[in-house]
Structure 1
């Protein structure tokens, strides 16, 4: 049975206001149910992080289970017995995989890895794995019959093992009355084709730029981290987030976002030998966690690669003059070197999950950065 923790968290995600770009899809699905037309047996919410797909799924789950939904077309009532079960994390008609999955606040859903956290521990892929025994454990719940509406949510569906996916196929091929399966995936390309062919994808990917801009502007207001935000800065945030509003907001509030120019200065000083990797490591350890520094580095590498390819940078608020001067001298890194350093960043993430000391990881990354 799913476990959501504090009721405040349940309120944030089950009963939060509908995201504005999801209104049309919400009306389409809820109207269908209201007219007593059944929803597809299995639905897939897929796409990039930060567009609110999990927020939509958990909100729809709450509404489908709500006993007063007929008089609350815009969302679950939040007061009936079913909604109270959701608040307490004890709903008998809801099962969630993987076992660690739970609805979280709409402010950080889908965006925690983009924004970064002070805690360097991240959820490992092994913890997110959905194994064949997990799917088999759902079978009694799915096939019990005569128990009313039942819902299964499989988050991080791309993390199913091949055996788990094959076990799920049986359920997808033999739909049970009043059983709904919701699959959520940040990387739908990793799903087996046989799975994707048996689910209907929710149209959640298209977000109008004007709608995204309005939402981000309203959410961030006039300042971010006590600094004024211009319309150009907001547009840049949305562009860096690939048009995903929630990711743009998380990016703006990330503790490392304001340190991008400083990262560039540090890198150029390391390359020129004006600063040692040890001194740089000691300084940055006092500023950001290693995970935050890695996320900052990943973003900066995008524009470094663009400069080296002669393309316009995405981060127009940073002075790239020194790097473009290096480019004229032919001393900028080639694409293979940039790719190698990006690979090193990914290796560092894995090492941190294996309890490698943060200082050691920082020192190693600074040595690699100096050679980039």
Structure 2
């Protein structure tokens, strides 16, 4: 995807999205971390192993790919703000053939991820959903680490960079194999780990890497970014709600606002109330939603609504004041905690059904029946 040039255009604006991942501007809340890491006086003492951890949607992968380009850039000592974009190393990155970069799993390399994302538009939603967070494609196995160790020790000239995405999904054997490399750093080798679930990362791994300060995002910077992405016509209340629903992750908030299911939250509530009142059958509701959203999208929508229903039943405030869920649910109409737990189990089963190629209509019908009984 490219754009036409203008007189004052950013030269990176002409790069495809997969290449832009290496040369994109810093996100507003990452400026301080970048400056501390790349300041000229700190370049000689860069940690050999870094961890970018935090929930999905805070921009840690954008930071890491930008750091990869800068570490490999031939002109980095004179370009502390980012890779130059024109040296031989930067050209290799743009072509996806850099000899001094290894990424595990390969699926995470921006070039590969971009190609697969394009291909997935031609797939069914079922096939696309199978490439989610639990996909075996993201598992890092011991053989992967063994092959990478030979790359680390090959003694080639110049900086070498290894990226471990979804590091929490390393097998025990893979993690143990990586430990020795972390404990015995090689000259000019940088190991960069990424995880959405730092609690699942082995303590022995975490103790041997330096964590980047990317998780704390000032509210003002987060809301300003969301407004800039969605347009100034979005109200402060809408932005605050999106950020709350996304657990404070600005990129996730923007993605949520753009998701096809987000605008259908009030419709979900209306249909659910009609189901509970016996004014609509579960099969009719299922047929309706199958025309509106894929099962994966409807599952995301239902999960979000379930969070608020649980909060209201527990006497907490709704996270979605624009839906007025509490007003639509008088005390005598509230579902039980047991019913909500049962629905959560069916949602989990729906996710498994998507991954196991179960016929989508059957899974949709079963989920709708459970919603009607909640």
Give the TM-score, by structure 1 length.
0.89
Of 81, 86, 97 in structure 1, the residue corresponding to residue 88 of structure 2 is: 81
Cross-structure match for 2:295: 290
Query: Which structure 2 segments of 5+ residues have no match?
Result: 1-13, 115-122
Deviation by residue 1:152-210 (Cα, 9 ceiling, x = unmatched): 00000010011111111111111111111001000010011111111111100010001
In 1, the alpha carbon distance for the partners of 2:39 and 2:354 equals 47
Superposition deviation, residue 66 in structure 1: 0.7
Q: How does 1:250-269 map to 2 (within 5 A)?
A: 250-269=255-274
Partner of 2:34: 26
1:118 positional shift: 7.4
Alignment partner for residue 356 of structure 2, among 347, 354, 357?
354
User: Offset of 1:293 from its aligned partner?
Assistant: 0.3
SS at match of 1:176: coil
Structure 1 match to 2:195: 185
Structure 2 residue 17 is matched with structure 1 residue 15: no
* Structure with more contact order per residue of length (Cα contacts < 8 Å, sep ≥ 6): 1
Q: Distance in 2 between matches of 1:152 and 1:253?
A: 33
- For residue 132 of structure 1, the aligned residue among 122, 134, 142 is 142
Q: Does structure 1 retain, via aligned residues, the 8 Å contact 2:96–2:111?
A: no
Q: Say whether the 8 Å CA contact 1:12–1:105 is kept in structure 2.
A: no
2:339 to 316, 337, 340: 337
Tell me the residue number matched to 1:68: 75
Is there any run of 5+ residues in structure 1 with no aligned partner, and where? 1-5, 108-116, 224-228
Deviations 1:202-242 (A, max 9, x none): 1000100011111111111145xxxxx22111111111111
The answer to whether the 8 A contact 2:53-2:212 is kept is yes
Match of 1:308 among 301, 305, 313: 313
Tell me if 1:49 matches 2:51.
no
How many pairs are equivalent? 349
Q: Secondary structure at the match of 2:39?
A: helix
TM-score between the two structures when normalised by the length of structure 2: 0.89
Name the residue aligned to 2:11.
none
Distance 1:142 1:25 in 2: 26
Higher helix share: 2
